[in-house]
Structure 1
């Protein structure tokens, strides 16, 4: 019975994610200082991180949740960027911000990370503190932070992977 309820909830989540995330909404942003990771009680695949520690790196903050179809669809690109650019100065941080009660469970998040083959750090944002600090409203959402700690690019929803990768490359090329 419980698994049936979770399946229905996951399907509802997919529809909600699709409704929340516009198909094409990418833009360079006016640079502003990236907010710190806030209210994170659990870090997976990593010890706790701060943006202050990551200064000098390019950071991709990826807001996602494991029952969101749009988020799942972006994972191949995010994992590819992590593999391709991690040795060139890119740090990918997944910020798992749940939509449904079963997505708050660390065991469920851990199993999803394993199932999707995610090896980069994941911050579990159950209280929406980091989400709120960024003023985020969408799953999935990408925030690219330059080496000086400024948000230099954002993208909401799926698509425009080449544009996002070009932004990563541009930021990595800057001193």
Structure 2
């Protein structure tokens, strides 16, 4: 039998869930976008077993560029749904200083196979660098918990914006444009 405090906690959780569902239905988005609450230095790419479409990259060497780190995996439908936007941003802004880095972090054991990742990259037409994070080292360095997840890093190497899940593409693109317009 639930005591009063437990009943209140259950009711509050259900109410919060209902508000979230209503907001999702109203906006048509399934993700959460927000300025990064505490600006922090972006963690380095660590524990990367393989780099695809690129030589190994470091956050340090990317200073002076705007970097979009996209945590994804090739069988995640939400990740697949974000790819047209990520690919478009890469094409539109790469000559203006944007570097997109896909961090492929597998959800299932078969997604650890580099040949499977290469096949997916080719199938999806991904041309930007992809870091294969099979041991979740970079995932943990970013304290990430979601697929897909965007971390936008300014020219000084600070994480200044995050987005988890699908949606809010115009907001994410506006953040990219704002960062590209800033002086180093």
Figure out how many residues of one structure are paired with residues of the other and give that number.
Answer: 154
Tell me the SS of whatever aligns to 2:61: helix
Tell me the SS of whatever aligns to 1:94: strand
2:56 paired residue number: 48
* TM-score normalized by the length of structure 2: 0.83
Which ranges in structure 1 are unaligned for 5 or more consecutive residues? 1-21
Q: Provide the C-alpha distance between the structure 1 equivalents of 2:77 and 2:86, rounded to a whole number of angstroms.
A: 15
1:151 paired residue number: 159
Q: Provide the C-alpha distance between the structure 1 equivalents of 2:59 and 2:90, rounded to a whole number of angstroms.
A: 17
Give the alignment partner of residue 164 of structure 1, picking from 150, 158, 172: 172
Is 1:59 paired with 2:42? no
TM-superposed deviation, 1:62: 0.1
2:43 paired residue number: 35
Q: Provide the C-alpha distance between the structure 2 equivalents of 1:86 and 1:64, rounded to a whole number of angstroms.
A: 20
Runs (4 or more) in structure 1 with deviation over 6 Å come to: none
Which ranges in structure 2 are unaligned for 5 or more consecutive residues? 1-28
Give the alignment partner of residue 30 of structure 2, picking from 16, 23, 26: 23
RMSD of aligned Cα (Å): 0.8
Larger Rg, first or second structure (1 or 2): 2
* TM-score normalized by the length of structure 1: 0.87
Tell me the SS of whatever aligns to 2:100: strand
Is 1:113 paired with 2:134? no
